[in-house]
Structures are given as C-alpha cells and as structure tokens.
Amino acid sequence: MPEPIQAPIQELVQTFHQFLLDPDRLPLAIVAVVLVLLVGMMSGPVAGNANPAFWALVETLFGKLGMRMNKSGRLKGDLIFRGLVFTIMVAVIAFFAGRAMMIAANIYPVWSIVEILALCLVLSAGTVFVALGRLYKALNDKKVSEGAYYTLARSTRTDMSRSDDYTIVRVGMGLVFKSFDKALVAPVIWYLIAGLPGAYIYAGLAALVWRFGAEGHHSGFGAVMMALERLMGFVPNMLSGIYMAFAALVTPTAGLSRSFLGFFSSKGQAKYEEGGFPMSVAVHALNISIGGPTTDLDGVAIKRGWIGPAGATAQLGAKHLHRALYMGFIAHLLFLASLGGAIIFAASGLTLGLF
C-alpha cells in the first residue's frame, strides 16, 4: 500500500482503538476493582445495601419522585411517557455527575486518586461476598434470622418475609451473578469506552432498573429505562457470561461444557432482565435451577421463569451458595487478569483489546 495512504489508515485504526479502549484508563480500572473488592470485604454493605454507592444515591434522590410518578391505575401509555421523562432526567444528571468528577480529576491529578475513587462509586464487589458469606454461615448453622437475609432483601429488592431457605439461597446466588455483570463488568467497560461520564450514565440507568424495573414485570414506567440499560449492557452481559463460563473450569461440581449450554440451549435460559448470560451460564454449569415467582419490596409480583437444565434441582442449600460465591470470585479474578492482559496488548502496540 502506498505510504501516503497507509499512514492515514494506521492513524485512523489507532484512533478507533483508543476510542474503544483507552490504555491510560486500564490501570485506573484495575486499581478501582481491587479497591472495591478489598474495602468491600473489610467494611461490608453500607446500610444493608451491597450495591454500588451511586445506586443508593440515585434511590435516595429520586426514589420518592419515581414512586409518585409511577402511580398504579394509570394508563400504560401514560406510565411509559412518565418513565421516559424520568429516565432522561436521571441520565442527564448522571452524565453531568460523571463530567463533574472528570473535571475534578483533571484539577487534582495527583496519582489519579479522584478518578479512581469516582469510578469506585459506581462499582460493587466485596460487599456482595460479605453479605452472602454471612448468609452462608447462617445457613450452615441453621439459624437464618431476619438479620441474615436483610441485606439480601435490600440489595435485590425482594420481599423475603415469607420465603423458605431454598428461595433465599436462589435469590442470593442470583445476586452473585447479576452484581458481577451490572455492578462491575458493565460500568468498567463503559468507563474504558467513554470515561467517567459513560460509566455514570450506565450506572444511573442500572440503578433505575434495579429500583423500578421489577425484572421486566413493571406496569410500563420501567420500559424506557430497561430498554436503554439493555442497549448499553448487552455486550457487557455477554462478556460476563464468558467470564462465568471459564470460572466454571475451576469451580467444584461445575463444568465448562455444561456452561456453554447457557449460551446456546433453547430452554432454561434467563431473560436479560432476569440476569441474562452470566445467570444462564452459571446455573447450567452448576446443574441447578433458579427462579420462581417472588414479590418485590413495592409489592409487585415478579413472575420469573425457571432457569437451568431440565431436571436440575431447585432445592438449594449452603453448599450451592458456597459454589456460587467461589465461581463469582474466580470470575472477578479473571476479569482483573483480562484488564492486565489488555494493558500488555496496548503496550505492545496491538490494535486489539480483549476484555
């Protein structure tokens, strides 16, 4: 290829690669993930919520307003329009919050501390392991009290007042797989793509879906927020499933071959709203069944289907929760390793970044 043509093409490819994966952000992302893992394990959930701090802030600032707008008895079209206005408002505020954090990081660039801490606000990892570790101990001791599952109910917005131990374990295992996707992989990927504004927009949408989405069983108010979150989250969801599949390689009783049924099987799949690829992959790998109807904290009936291979048991106990925690932790380590690998690829001048 003639040099005058080759140079602009190389420059275009390099620019495109840097847009998709800014190498300068990779070390900061790694530090942020390690921080939320370690600090979360030391501090545990704050106010009984194992989700990212930014989700809790969105709920505090906009939860009551959203409830007033999401009045039962209104026409579905009216609720969809209200949800559209509400979602746009929160997304715009989230963008400016991310933008303000980015400006602050530029003003105070020492060791990139501000940028790292700003990213930590939209991530969660260690708190989930602490919350479910407590539940695992309570199940082992056969003393599952209200205190043992309060954080689980708060973090998943599931009414567990009349749930048996099997339901509690199924909900807890679901939190492991969903949190890995929504509260870690997806916001980090959007940070790498679009910086703090991208991560904060995604986190704002994810927080709204957590608060009002009811896993797709809403009356219309959550339609727009769920559609936008799915648009931004579909690829990260697929990548999260891949991490879970490889985590199955070293998880007791799990299997890589079974895990891929979670991608390709026509039955026992989790809808995107119910966890998508990481949920399906993990459940098939462990040869268990998760799902069943529940009720959220607003009293909305969540009529989720059953996820998993045919004939798999849904009577899950402490040992199953332990395996889910193990698989989730391995997936976190694999994610960190892939970010480190991406740094090596970027440093070597390759134009292909692997998440």
Residue 179 has pLDDT above 50, yes or no: yes
Q: Nearest Cα to 89, choosing from 256, 224, 273?
A: 224
Task: Provide the pLDDT for residue 11.
Answer: 54
Q: Nearest Cα to 233, choosing from 263, 261, 259, 207?
A: 207
Give every CB contact of residue 85 below 8 A, 6+ residues apart in sequence. 69
Residue 149 has pLDDT above 50, yes or no: yes
Q: Is the alpha carbon torsion for 45, 46, 50, 52 positive or negative?
A: negative
Task: Provide the pLDDT for residue 264.
Answer: 80
Most confident range (mean pLDDT) of 63-77, 159-173, 227-241, 253-267 is 227-241
Task: Provide the pLDDT for residue 30.
Answer: 97
Question: Among 34-43, 60-69, 255-264, 302-311, where is mean pLDDT lowest?
Answer: 255-264
Task: Provide the pLDDT for residue 1.
Answer: 47
Question: Among 10-19, 179-188, 306-315, where is mean pLDDT lowest?
Answer: 10-19
Task: Please tell me what DSSP assigns to residue 269.
Answer: P
Task: Provide the pLDDT for residue 146.
Answer: 59
Task: Provide the pLDDT for residue 272.
Answer: 94
Percent of the chain scoring above 70 in pLDDT: 91
> Where do the structural domains in the chain lie, given as residue ranges?
21-234+335-347
Q: Report the mean per-residue pLDDT for the chain.
A: 89
Task: Provide the pLDDT for residue 353.
Answer: 43
Mean pLDDT value across residues 17-39: 85
